């Protein structure tokens, strides 16, 4: 699918909405959320090596739902991310993995549960995710782990670099449209806290759907939505 200038502009509006770009502080745990984006593991490892966490943890089996979330490897995302962190100099004994989660809520809940089972003391977490997932991760964390102090961050990069150099632009645009839909409807299903959606973002979202970027949408109307979070 070709990317026109109008589609590019609307995609950048969604990118700017999804990516919070907020500051963060040192925490007890740096938690990398598994995905197809290996730079999440690299950034989480750098944060740990720079003293932003006492422990490094990765979470994720594999994404579910549409093929846009498919990873290029057969091992669990958390296992692959662990290997990346070790290659970047993180001691193996400093890394924990949670290899069962298949969506964002599970990433957070399963990781917290595992830390508690292991008796590891913690009260704060830096959540490392993809740039286009920051807002949705925050909304999910506010719902799933409200008792934990957390910050959300992602690998540093520009819209142009991420969407047009690192990955296929149509894939990222489809994902951003789908995540905006989830931000709209998931609070009604109990998966996330409410996030304000400016009119400009809503308009860009509607135009992108009309342009055919609908591959990551779910049936998410509160009265007849999915029983578990998708993607």
Q: Do 91 and 113 belong together in one domain?
A: yes
Distance between CA 101 and CA 116 in Å, rounded?
16
Domain count, the chain: 2
Q: How crowded is the C-beta side of 218, counted as CA atoms within 13 Å?
A: 27
134 lies in some domain: yes
**Do both 143 and 187 map to the same domain?**
no
Last residue of a domain, one of 112, 127, 153: 153
Structural domain that includes position 201: 5-16+158-210
Per-residue model confidence (pLDDT) at position 64:
60
H helix and E strand count, the chain: 8, 5
Two tokens at 139? 């909304």
Q: Looking at per-residue confidence, does 161 or 227 come out higher?
A: 161
Q: What is the pLDDT of residue 228?
A: 60
pLDDT at 226: 46
Neighbours of 160 (CB within 10 A): 12
Strand order in the sheet with 95-98: 95-98, 53-59, 27-33, 124-128, 149-153
Given this model, what pLDDT does residue 63 score? 64
Secondary structure element (H or E) that encloses residue 54, with its range: strand 53-59
Residue 28 in domain: yes
**Same domain membership, residue 166 and residue 126:** no
41 and 85 both lie in a single domain: yes
Look at residue 228 and tell me if it is in a domain. Answer: no
Q: In this structure, are 135 and 171 located in the same domain?
A: no
Q: Determine, yes or no, domain membership for 47.
A: yes
Q: Encode pLDDT of 122-139 as tens digits.
A: 999 999 999 999 999 999
Q: Report pLDDT digits (tens) over 187-230.
A: 999 999 999 999 999 999 999 999 999 999 987 554 444 456 76
pLDDT digits (tens, 9 = 90+) for 34-82: 999 999 999 999 999 999 999 999 999 976 656 888 888 889 999 999 9
User: Would you say residue 216 lies in a domain?
Assistant: no
Average pLDDT over residues 22-34: 98
Residues 172 and 107 in one domain: no
Phi then psi for residue 98, to 5 deg, are -125, 115
Is there a single domain that holds both residue 56 and residue 103? yes
Is 219 a domain residue? no
Residue 13, judged by CB atoms within 10 A of its CB (0-12, 13-18, 19+), counts as buried
Residue with tokens 């720079």: 50
* pTM given for the model: 0.93
- Are residue 11 and residue 86 in the same domain, yes or no? no
- What CATH number should be reported for the domain holding residue 53? 3.40.50.620
**44 and 120 part of one domain:** yes
In a domain, 50, yes or no: yes
* Residue 198: exposure state from Cβ atoms within 10 A (0-12, 13-18, ≥19): exposed
Please check whether residue 226 lies inside any domain of the structure. no
The pLDDT tens digits of the residues spanning 167-185 come to 999 999 999 999 999 999 9
On whether both 109 and 198 belong to a single domain, the answer is no
């Amino acid at each position: 699918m070709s990317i026109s200038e109008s589609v590019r502009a609307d995609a950048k509006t969604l990118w700017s909405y999804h990516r919070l770009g907020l500051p963060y502080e040192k925490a007890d745990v740096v938690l990398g959320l598994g995905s197809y984006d290996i730079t999440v593991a690299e950034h989480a490892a750098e944060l740990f090596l720079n003293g932003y966490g006492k422990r490094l943890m990765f979470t994720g089996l594999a994404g579910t739902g549409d093929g846009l979330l498919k990873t290029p490897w057969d091992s669990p995302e958390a296992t692959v991310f662990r290997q990346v962190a070790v290659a970047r100099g993180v001691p193996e004994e400093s890394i924990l993995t949670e290899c069962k989660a298949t969506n964002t809520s599970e990433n957070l809940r399963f990781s917290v549960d595992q830390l508690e089972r292991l008796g590891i003391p913690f009260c704060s977490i830096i959540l490392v995710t993809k740039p286009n997932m920051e807002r949705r991760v925050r909304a999910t964390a506010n719902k799933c782990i409200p008792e934990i102090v957390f910050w959300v961050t992602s690998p540093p990069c520009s819209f142009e670099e991420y969407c047009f150099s690192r990955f296929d632009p149509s894939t990222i645009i489809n994902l951003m449209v789908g995540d905006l839909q989830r931000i709209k409807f998931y609070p009604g299903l109990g998966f996330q806290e409410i996030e304000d959606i400016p009119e400009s973002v809503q308009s860009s979202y509607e135009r992108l759907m009309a342009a055919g970027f609908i591959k990551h949408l779910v049936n998410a109307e509160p009265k007849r939505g999915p029983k578990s979070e998708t993607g």
